[in-house]
């Protein structure tokens, strides 16, 4: 459990969500067996809903892993394109296989490399950006993400409450202190940045949603 939501409530919410079948189910099982962190079911639903509300067609993801959330974005976007960044070659290989099985190879483009290097090299703008990579680096990625987001676009940042540690020192494990400190700085920054309107949601491992003001 996440330390973020009362386990009873979390279980109730999860049980309201229809279980995936086919490829997504297979990917969930692979992720569980191989300890690959993919979005939790309630976060996956949130991504789907926001993609549809936003009518997002150009989507950028930082942190592909095996391609699970990239496939969800693509399938929710009604013909949209997903660009996703991943530094690990083994993850990319697996993601490519799953994406091909989903028939989405022409809609999902994986860029191999470290996000800190890839993000500043990107051109164009995006309706939606999903930040789901190394938690200690979010602040490093933020300037590029704001720059790459269209006015009226949405930035979704995952794992921002990090097992509750970001909210309370009571939960902080000594070796995670730096990541927690960095994440608190990140959250202060997105909450106070005049270009963004942001809110924090206590679901999954904590999700921040930021809207880029049209006049930004
Ligand atoms: C939480 S997983 C992504 C899960 C995926 N978004 C999903 O829900 O299906 C994070 C991934 O980000 C990658 N990653 C972490 N830091 C990165 C960086 N600085 N640049 C590129 N990839 C990074 C990791 O290798 C890992 O595969």
pLDDT, one tens digit per residue, over 1-35 is 567 888 999 999 999 999 999 999 999 999 999 99
Q: What is the pLDDT of residues 171-192, one digit of tens each?
A: 788 888 899 999 999 999 999 9
Question: What integer pLDDT is reported at residue 21 of this predicted model?
Answer: 96
> Which string of DSSP letters, residue by residue, matches 87-116?
--HHHHHHHHHHHHHTT-TTTEEEEES-HH
Question: What integer pLDDT is reported at residue 173 of this predicted model?
Answer: 83
CA 115 / ligand 1 centre spacing (Å):
9
**What does the block give as tokens for 94?**
């697996």
Binding site for Mg(2+): residue ranges?
132, 158-159
CA 17 / ligand 1 centre spacing (Å):
25
Enumerate residues lining ligand 1, CB below 6 A. Answer: 37-39, 63, 65, 68-69, 85-88, 91, 114-116, 132-134, 137
Distance CA 69, CA 153 (A): 18
CA 80 / ligand 1 centre spacing (Å):
21
Q: How far is CA 23 from CA 101, 115, 116, 192, in A?
A: 8, 27, 31, 40
Burial call 166-194: b when 16+ CB within 10 Å, e when fewer: bbeeebbeeebeebbebbeebbeebeebe
Rounded-to-10 torsion of CA 172, 33, 26, 51 = 10
Domain 7-212 matching CATH 3.20.20.10: the answer reads no
Domain ranges, ordered by start, for the chain: 7-212
Q: Whose CA is nearest to atom 11 of ligand 1?
A: 63
* pLDDT < 70: residue spans in the chain: 1-2, 216
Question: What integer pLDDT is reported at residue 1 of this predicted model?
Answer: 58
Question: Alpha-carbon torsion 116, 75, 35, 205, what sign?
Answer: positive
């Amino acid at each position: 459990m996440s330390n973020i939501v009362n386990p009873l409530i979390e279980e109730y919410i999860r049980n309201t969500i229809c279980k995936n079948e086919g490829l997504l189910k297979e990917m969930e099982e692979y992720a569980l067996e191989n300890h690959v962190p993919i979005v939790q079911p309630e976060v996956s639903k949130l991504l789907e809903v926001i993609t549809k509300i936003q009518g997002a067609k150009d989507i950028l993801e930082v942190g592909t892993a095996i391609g699970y959330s990239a496939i969800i974005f693509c399938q929710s976007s009604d013909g949209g394109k997903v660009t996703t960044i991943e530094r690990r070659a083994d993850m990319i290989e697996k993601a490519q296989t799953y994406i091909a099985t989903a028939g989405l190879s022409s809609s999902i483009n994986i860029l191999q490399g470290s996000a800190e290097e890839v993000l500043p090299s990107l051109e164009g703008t995006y309706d939606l950006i999903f930040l789901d990579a190394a938690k200690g680096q979010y602040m490093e990625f933020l300037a590029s993400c704001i720059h790459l987001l269209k006015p009226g676009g949405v930035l979704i940042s995952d794992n921002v409450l990090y097992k509750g540690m970001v909210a309370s020192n009571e939960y902080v494990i000594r070796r995670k202190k730096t990541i927690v400190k960095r994440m608190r700085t990140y959250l202060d920054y997105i909450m106070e940045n005049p270009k963004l309107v942001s809110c924090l949601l206590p679901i999954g491992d904590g999700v921040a949603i930021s809207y880029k003001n049209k006049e930004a």
